[in-house]
Amino acid sequence: MTVRIVPSILRFFSAREKLLQVQIVCFGALVFACAVTSNCAEVITDNIYEQEVRPLFKEKCISCHGANKAEGGLRLDAIQLVRGVGGSKEEVQNGNTVVIEILERVVTDDLELKMPPADGGSSLTDNQVQALRVWFEAGMPGPDHEEIPKGPAEHWAYQAIVREFPANQESETANPIDIVVRRHQEAVGVSPLPATDSATWLRRVTFDVTGLPPTPEQLRQFCANDTHQSRRELVDQLLASSTYGQRWARHWMDIWRYSDWDGYKEELRGSQRHIWHWRDWIVESLNENKPYGRMVEEMLAGDELAPDDPDTLRATGFLARNFHKSNRNIWLDATVEHTGKAFFGLTLNCARCHDHKYDPIAQPVYYQLRSVFEPHQIRTDQIHGISNISQDGIPRAYDARPDEPTYVYRGGNEKHPVTDSPVQPGIISWLPGTLEIQPIELPLGGYYPALSDTVHGNQLHDKRSAIQVAAGHVQSAAQSLIDEQNSRVTRLDPTSETLAQSLYRQANLELEFALADQSAYQARFEADSARMTGHCYEEYYAAAQLAAVREYELSQIRVELDLLRAQVALASAQAEPVKDAKKQSQKLEDLHKQLSDARQAKAGLPAFVASTKYTSLGVEYPHFSTGRRLALAKWITSPGNPLTARVAVNHMWMRHFDQPLVENVFDFGMNCPKPVQLELLDWLAAEFLRTGWDMKHLHRLILLSDTYAQSSDLALAPPENLRIDKHNQFLWMNQVRRLDAEEVRDSLLAVGGKLDCTSSGPDIDYELGETVYRRSLYFRHAYEKQMSMLVLFDAASPNECYRRSPSLIPQQALVLSNSVLARDMANSIALASVRLENSVNDADFVTQLFESTLGRLPISQEMNQCLEFLGVQGDLLSDTDQLHSFGNEKSHAGSSNAKNRNPQAQARASLALVLMNHNDFLSLR
């Protein structure tokens, strides 16, 4: 017999069996035949399938030979399907043609026959080929049966959303969420935990809606009157507060990849300056309960929906955020990828280089979707009252190149475009709906912003302000001239003028220039208006001639003014006392050069020639937008799209329960298993659509459900619950979750009485997070520009964060004990408690501290321990002879000298720091 040792499968042997293989090599085939049992062979072959063959099929083969596409009628995504073409062990060993062809195709050098194909991924390694050969020759052992993956037509996420109101035999007013959940619990034999206590529910719902803790007053009031009606009123009150929009904006900003501008010094490399306008739009849209579908449409195509509405244009920050300075393809790839992931839960980026391995998305489909975004670019429009866009402005999308072609890149390589067949815009054809593209005619301000009311108003304001400033300078210069003449009798040289006279002449010329500038602007505005609005030629001709005249007059004054400024600057420098001869000499040399240039400019000014040529006020953009992005947005938000509503409600559910209904929050494709709570997901999605994408309605429905109100205390769980459903898939308990990074910082400020909930405004320097008390939402958050405290508590990555992953590390406790922010808030709490007008005893202080930091009253043991701590700590701090200052004792809320501090306040501040490190401060139960 022939003995063959396969290196790639040696690892499946135990140490004793490997030694046996060495003996085989040494003593021959007879020893091997006697020693290796059939049981050992079974272990080898079983392991080969599970650990070698199945992963190989999944990685290399299933994209062409799976449920989506079974080329040649061959499917390799379930073992019984492979056996169906491979035949029995004897057939394989006797030369089954299918198996022989598979093995030949994976090793051939013929690129026409080789599998996987050159554009479908890398070839099989020698070890993979050998493992496949051994498995075939062993008769394809493995499990008897595997679940055969379903095709797209049967995949749960691609089915239409059907709203079936769940029947309830006990009460017609029961929350539909509870009806669905309880039915499933009963079917599997698990029991829901009882409702949590009033204080825990209040803390839970207040954080979930606003990201802030309830105040002690809210706690006492609610716990004294906890009814279904009071809960409904509280939820309505929280949803109506501005803090709701601030909290939930951060959730959606995770999903939509919000990032403030990124770059080196003043160089913009990623996102856009003033992108914070998009953040403010998100907050405002949530607070006004703008329908989710409308928000999606405005983010993708606000410039096509409302091209002359600055408020709506802010929404296209979703597109502006993807800007990438160095590579347009990276920019567009990110746009396509995250449009798919964020709005309809498909990983489109997997089809950029080749057909999607799991979903029926061919590579050309990816480029059809890219073609939707191909024409767009980003510009910054002026806002009311500010003409300088470097100071402020709205970054917004617009179609700059409507005819820009899109090409498929071979293997995803931008260096190899298929230029002979441009790709037309398209969508995923097997999903319902069509891409109905209609070009959109833009209003005048959309394609020529210089004539918009905003820009025109800003320009008029700037011109008038310049005139007022210049007039003020004339008055100042005149007064200086009078003062000079009255100060003493001087002998004047009639052939020369004093510096004050020169400055007075300059001020008058500057006023003349400001007036001429306003006149020239108005003439150019009228000429541009006549040209852009299609007035008769005679009217345009007359306006253009006048604009040319006014512009020439302005240029004459400008060269005169530049010359006079150069003369005055030189005269002023010559009159200065010399402190540094070398610097003075260089300065005078530069000023002489400036004067010479100004004289040449005046001498070179051409004579006026009647003309209609003048300088237009601004850039003229395309008069039409393609309508592609609006068509895509309408397809995404169509009620017939089975993905959009499911993806959105899954995100919302996860942020209330810390557990999504669909685990793959950004991938609902074929690789996403059917969720246990599919009926609940679909009911919520259908309700979302029925109410017109009403987010507050969905929040209210969830927050007032018994499912949401359940306890999270695992000690209350019946044993059968843990045995049947240890992962809580049937929602029989609530989850304990750690506060998000922003909630941690904002809670510190809230309990310290310092939180500033002011809405809106530019991003704040991230390094000021310990000294500026605004909500965390408003600090700069970009690549390499993030507040260190937020990063430490797992803030969202600006690159991608569809779901946060909370950590528990020692540095978090150090921040809550030693940071300037934590100590300042602790001091603030303590000092407020010892002021004469608010002074309280230690027991009342402990009660108030527990209410504000932990959202509950202390139990008797906690009260006793805290009182003992305050007593002992107060005595120690009162002994000033034993006190020694160290480190940086100065704090924003405390004294710089430890011996001068109130011992009682210091002890209470220390206790506050302890509770800020309490698990109940950092957690929602």
Strand pairing class (376-381; 394-399): antiparallel
Q: Comparing C-alpha atoms, which of 757, 740, 902 is closest to residue 831? A: 902
Report which DSSP code applies to 197: P
pLDDT confidence tier of residue 583, bands split at 50, 70 and 90: confident
Residue type, 317: G
- Measure the N-to-C terminal CA separation of the chain; round to a whole number of Å: 68
Looking at 685-786, which runs of residues are DSSP E strands?
A: 737-738
Tens of pLDDT, residues 447-485:
999 999 999 999 999 999 999 999 999 999 999 888 878
Of 33-47, 599-613, 868-882, minimum mean pLDDT range? 33-47
CB–CB of 688/698 below 8 Å?
A: yes
What are φ and ψ of residue 437, in 5° steps?
Answer: -90, 125
Tens of pLDDT, residues 629-654:
999 999 999 999 999 999 999 999 99
Cross-strand pairs, 324: 270
Residue 594 CB burial class (10 angstroms; 0-12, 13-18, ≥19): middle
Q: Which residue has the higher pLDDT, 738 or 127?
A: 738
3-state secondary structure of 408: coil
Average pLDDT of the residues in 133-159: 84
How high is the pLDDT of residue 568?
Answer: 86
CA distance 213 to 204: 9
CA triple 460-279-320, angle to 5 deg: 75
Strand pairing class (267-270; 376-381): unpaired
How high is the pLDDT of residue 546?
Answer: 96
Average pLDDT of the residues in 106-130: 79
pLDDT confidence tier of residue 21, bands split at 50, 70 and 90: very low
What are φ and ψ of residue 749, in 5° steps?
Answer: -65, -35
Percentage of the chain exceeding pLDDT 90:
68
For residue 16, pLDDT beyond 50: no
pLDDT confidence tier of residue 37, bands split at 50, 70 and 90: very low
For residue 308, pLDDT beyond 90: yes
For residue 892, pLDDT beyond 70: no
For the chain, the 3-state helix, strand and coil shares in percent, each to the nearest 5, are 55, 5, 40
CA distance 21 to 29: 10
Domain ranges of the chain: 7-149, 271-444+623-632, 451-489+497-603, 815-924
Q: What is the mean pLDDT of the chain?
A: 88
Of 170-184, 374-388, 551-565, 677-691, minimum mean pLDDT range? 170-184
Cβ burial 299-331 (10 Å sphere, 16+ → b, else e):
bbbbbbbbbbebebbbbbbbbbbbbbeeeeeeb
Q: Which residue has the higher pLDDT, 745 or 783?
A: 745
pLDDT confidence tier of residue 773, bands split at 50, 70 and 90: very high
Q: CB-side exposure of 629: number of CA atoms within 13 Å? A: 27
How high is the pLDDT of residue 265?
Answer: 85
How high is the pLDDT of residue 336?
Answer: 98
How high is the pLDDT of residue 139?
Answer: 80
Contacts made by residues 218-225, CB under 8 angstroms, sequence distance 24+:
219/851, 219/855, 219/856, 220/851, 222/198, 223/198, 223/199
pTM of the predicted model as reported, rounded to 2 decimal places: 0.87
CA distance 915 to 908: 11
Of 593-602, 726-735, 786-795, minimum mean pLDDT range? 593-602
Tens of pLDDT, residues 185-226:
999 999 999 999 999 999 999 999 999 999 999 999 999 999
How high is the pLDDT of residue 495?
Answer: 57
Q: Tokens 């020693």 belong to which residue?
A: 35
How high is the pLDDT of residue 25?
Answer: 36
Residue type, 196: T
3-state secondary structure of 670: coil
For residue 492, pLDDT beyond 80: no
CB–CB of 802/666 below 8 Å?
A: yes
For residue 899, pLDDT beyond 70: no
Whether cis (ω within 30° of 0) applies to the bond prior to 422 is no
Residue 226 CB burial class (10 angstroms; 0-12, 13-18, ≥19): middle
Average pLDDT of the residues in 711-737: 96
How high is the pLDDT of residue 575?
Answer: 79
For residue 530, pLDDT beyond 70: yes
What are φ and ψ of residue 507, in 5° steps?
Answer: -60, -40
pLDDT confidence tier of residue 9, bands split at 50, 70 and 90: very low
DSSP secondary structure of 725-738: -TT-TT--SPPPEE
Percentage of the chain exceeding pLDDT 70:
89
How high is the pLDDT of residue 90?
Answer: 61
How high is the pLDDT of residue 91?
Answer: 60
Q: How far is CA 340 from CA 157, 255, 588, 632, 827, in A?
A: 14, 11, 63, 11, 48
CB–CB of 553/590 below 8 Å?
A: no
Q: CB neighbours of 9 closer than 8 A, spacing ≥ 6?
A: 44, 47, 48, 52, 130, 131, 134
How high is the pLDDT of residue 62?
Answer: 78
Average pLDDT of the residues in 418-423: 95
3-state secondary structure of 386: strand
Q: Which residue has the higher pLDDT, 740 or 571?
A: 740
Q: Which residue has the higher pLDDT, 222 or 140?
A: 222
Joined tokens for residue 677: 């709570």
For residue 381, pLDDT beyond 90: yes
Tens of pLDDT, residues 333-342:
999 999 999 9
How high is the pLDDT of residue 126?
Answer: 85
Report which DSSP code applies to 665: T
DSSP secondary structure of 603-625: HTPPPP---S----SSPPPPSEE
How high is the pLDDT of residue 894?
Answer: 43
Tens of pLDDT, residues 816-843:
999 999 999 999 999 988 875 667 899 9
For residue 441, pLDDT beyond 50: yes
Residue 34 CB burial class (10 angstroms; 0-12, 13-18, ≥19): exposed
Q: How far is CA 896 from CA 19, 839, 886, 906, in A?
A: 74, 23, 11, 13
How high is the pLDDT of residue 60?
Answer: 80
Which H/E stretch holds residue 381? Answer: strand 376-381
Q: Which residue has the higher pLDDT, 662 or 16?
A: 662
Q: CB neighbours of 475 closer than 8 A, spacing ≥ 6?
A: none
